[in-house]
Structure 1
Amino acid sequence: MAECSDVFLDSFFVARQPVFDVHKGIWGYELLFRNSEGSNVADVGDEDAATSQVIADGFGLIQEDIDEGQRLLVNFPRNMLLEGAADFLPAEVCVVEILEHVQPEPDVLEALKELKERGYVLALDDYIGQDGFEPFIELADIVKVDCLDLSPDELVNIVGNLKQLDVMLLAEKVEDNEMFQRCLELGFDLFQGFFFSRPEIIPGKKVSTSNLNRMQLLSSISGEDFDVDDLTEAINSDVSVSYRLLKFMNSAAFGLPNEIHSIKQAITLIGYRKLAGWLRMILLSDMSSGPAGNELAFLSIKRAKFLELVCLEMKHCPLPAESMFMLGLFSLLDVLLGRPMEELMEELPVEKELMLALIGKENNASLYLDLVKCLEKAEWDKLGRLIMGNNLSSLAVARSHMAAMQWANEVVLMGRED
């Protein structure tokens, strides 16, 4: 894992948005950055500087966290295309994304042709059928269609026209499973959006036995009181969880002088609070299945660490840092289990303010959940308003989010190793 310099952390916000294939496997990620240095508002400065910073720091940092064969899409404004900035990025990983306001002028088209000759994949961003972009489409390997701003009929017509060409179709801003299914039926190859993070509640659906056991374990470590023997027995009853937990305990992250051989020994040595925090993460990661589930586990763990770090940076946090951690960690529990959050909260004894934020009621804690959602979706203007309106430090938010992303990657990868 690459180290992240203070300059890098202080310089910009970063969003890493997954791109899925037709089987909901992770095809790659789009990287979205916004400069924040020297400003209390999430102000981009200028596109050239932002893209240069991505090339200098961001791309290399995130590249280490992706699997072999996955791609990273990076936005390129006009000047950066003409200056050959893509040459700093590996063609086998980088997808050069042509921003929607770049015009197909002769010098731009020539630069794109040269990139293709050097093996780069080109993607046209935010296509909604606008006239004059035919030269870009002829060069593009991928066309990203903005599904949110199109009517069903417009979407059908655009897809019909593009299907006659030799391009991959990427459905952008796919916000729910209904839209995913519609785009799948229309013949899209790739899908980007947060459809995977919306709860798909199926009436009468029962939680699997293994997940029921994990829910019971989550419940047992959500309160303040515990019994060492009872907790040890509960953990030992789940072989997978026991294995994962002991692997975590013996990792470098804990820095314990002696190897731990039993759950009871772990509880005694490191204490209940620290054990409970790590156990919650393992349980959520273990409840996920498939690539989309893995991404949900990553988001849950990243949100947890981010909210904890932001809380520690603040003078007046609405909840203790440990509760803020739980807020992020449990924020996607309804999606992971396919059950309404209200039902789940009845089974987990969490404090009232935390529970209200999780079920979508607006309070002081829910504000910080909104903050991390803006970061994930790259809603920079709304993020800036939240930061300014609540007297937060943009640098502290940027620093905490990047640190949380790195930490979550390490935790999820460690949890997935055999």
Structure 2
Amino acid sequence: MTESARPDQASQPLRLRNFYIGRQPVLDRNQALYGYELLFRGSAQGGANIESGLSASASVIHHASQLGLPRAIGDATAFLNVDKEVLMSDMFAFLPRERTVLEIVRSVEPDDAVIQRMTQLAAHGFRFAAEASAHGAALARLLPVVDFVKMDVRELPVVTLLSLAPRLRTTGKRLVAEKVETHTEYRTCLDVGFDYFQGYYFAKPTVMAGRKLSPSQTTVLDLMNLVTSDADNSEIEKIVKREVTLGLNLLRLVNTPAVGASRRIESISQALILLGRRQLQRWLQILLYAEPGVRGHSQSSLLMLATTRARLMELLAQRLRPGQRNVADVAFTVGMMSLMDTLFCIPMQDIVEQIPVIDEVRHALLVRKGFFGELLRLAEALEQMDETSEAVLPTLHELSIDGDDLAELEISAFEWSDKVVRYAI
């Protein structure tokens, strides 16, 4: 939790205890990643809450800088909530202005001083966002100085959404649909003309009768079965070489900074030797999400989410069960598999019947129980922290994890996932 800070102390270092991070994706019309809204939560005093006033915004901004904003968002754009006190301070002067959008919270009244300050910052390259329903009639005053207008699809009636969005588009503003949770809502907002979408509609499973896996996915699953059955490398190599795109993706993956090869790997046989069976299995899991020919579509969003979730669960398992490498491997597998129902558009029950898994993994995926189920519940709660922040603290307590440790593990997972996805597709 951040200690209170006066406006004249805004540029001084702040101390934060027991915090963790929400990183919510903002996708474009092709469902490719555009940015992240960063939310920092305090976990002290027995409640998971976002701190109010200056301390909340100061926590985000200060620690985005301290932890390294690129580690948290990669090449994406950061959306950061700011209140009036922060707006009038200089605490965010060190942020990369070309990749930072300052989101004006609902408590800010756009008086002359606020508009003047926003105009000054805009001249220095900062961009602004405002939420339509939060500011109501005052939105008209903000429009000349904001670049993005957010609209909460849960708060605004559909009829208002349908009439307001086209009018706002004529002003040249970029429209962001918030809390989009279903594909129907996404399609509606797409048709109306929204530019960006925030919400987890892309991660919700949609069961499709008669759905068939792509040839590439079928090949990857066949390879995973060969790996778990200890088949010879030559047999695995033969299948990989038969699928040209699969081989290219595998070579991209083994040459990522996330793998850390000391020299460039040029052949499939080298890649298989370098990885070993343990790493090969996890890279095959990643390749399931890296469908060829769909760069910039929902698979890339799922890939980012799945790899971040899996890596965070792996790091948590390493912290909680040190020296037990197999436990960390299983945690990674659970994280990757937890979105396969969305990827394949089939029920999770069918997936665990088709892909051989141990009982602990099955239990975690189906009912979120057991050690791996607790890790999965924590990862999912962190992803949707604006809706389920209350679910984080009890799980932290159950797992005996300190919020400060969790934040650093989250940043490491964000960074690792960004490196993987950048080269995987």
Change (3 A) 1:244 1:20: closer
User: Comparing 132-141 with 54-63, which one deviates more in the overlay?
Assistant: 54-63
Whole-Å separation in 2 of the counterparts to 1:260 and 1:26: 28
Is 2:57–2:81's contact at 8 Å kept on the other side of the alignment? no
Q: Equivalences for 1:30-49 in 2 at 5 Å?
A: 30-34=37-41, 42=48, 44-45=50-51, 46-49=55-58
Percent of counterpart pairs with the same letter?
A: 27
Superposition TM-score, scaled by structure 2 size: 0.82
Whole-Å separation in 2 of the counterparts to 1:8 and 1:304: 30
Is 2:36–2:73's contact at 8 Å kept on the other side of the alignment? no
In the alignment, residue 56 of structure 2 is paired with which amino acid?
Answer: E
Whole-Å separation in 2 of the counterparts to 1:256 and 1:290: 25
In the alignment, residue 275 of structure 1 is paired with which amino acid?
Answer: L
Tell me the residue number matched to 1:87: 93
1:208 matches 2:214: yes
Q: Equivalences for 1:10-159 in 2 at 5 Å?
A: 12-34=19-41, 42=48, 44-45=50-51, 46-54=55-63, 56-57=65-66, 60-62=69-71, 65-66=74-75, 71-125=77-131, 127=133, 130-159=136-165
Q: Equivalences for 1:258-277 in 2 at 5 Å?
A: 263=268, 267=272, 271-277=276-282
Q: Give the number of aligned pairs.
A: 404
1:344 matches 2:351: yes
Whole-Å separation in 1 of the counterparts to 2:69 and 2:399: 33
Whole-Å separation in 1 of the counterparts to 2:134 and 2:163: 10
1:278 matches 2:283: yes
Match of 1:169 among 165, 168, 175: 175
Cα-to-partner distance string for 1:338-383 (whole Å, 9 max, x where unaligned):
3332222222001122123323554543222121122222343332
Q: CA deviation at 1:18?
A: 2.4
Match of 1:327 among 331, 334, 337: 334
Change (3 A) 1:414 1:26: closer
Whole-Å separation in 2 of the counterparts to 1:53 and 1:278: 35
Partner SS state of residue 248, structure 2: helix
1:195 matches 2:164: no
Q: CA deviation at 1:330?
A: 1.3
Q: CA deviation at 1:74?
A: 1.8
1:371 matches 2:361: no
Partner SS state of residue 177, structure 2: strand
Change (3 A) 1:13 1:204: same
Change (3 A) 1:63 1:152: same
Whole-Å separation in 2 of the counterparts to 1:289 and 1:112: 39
Q: CA deviation at 1:72?
A: 2.6
Cα-to-partner distance string for 1:363-407 (whole Å, 9 max, x where unaligned):
543222121122222343332232134432222222221111111
Partner SS state of residue 96, structure 1: strand
Whole-Å separation in 1 of the counterparts to 2:79 and 2:49: 22
Tell me the residue number matched to 1:355: 362
Tell me the residue number matched to 2:410: 401
Change (3 A) 1:281 1:268: same
Gaps (5+ residues) in structure 2? 1-13
Whole-Å separation in 1 of the counterparts to 2:280 and 2:159: 53
Whole-Å separation in 1 of the counterparts to 2:356 and 2:295: 29
Q: CA RMSD in A?
A: 3.4
Whole-Å separation in 2 of the counterparts to 1:257 and 1:138: 52
Is 1:128–1:146's contact at 8 Å kept on the other side of the alignment? no
Partner SS state of residue 136, structure 2: coil
Change (3 A) 1:125 1:229: same
Partner SS state of residue 359, structure 1: helix
Tell me the residue number matched to 1:239: 244
Partner SS state of residue 301, structure 1: helix
Gaps (5+ residues) in structure 1? 1-6
In the alignment, residue 141 of structure 1 is paired with which amino acid?
Answer: D
Is 1:180–1:195's contact at 8 Å kept on the other side of the alignment? yes
Tell me the residue number matched to 2:10: none
Tell me the residue number matched to 2:11: none
Whole-Å separation in 2 of the counterparts to 1:22 and 1:154: 21
Is 1:288–1:296's contact at 8 Å kept on the other side of the alignment? no
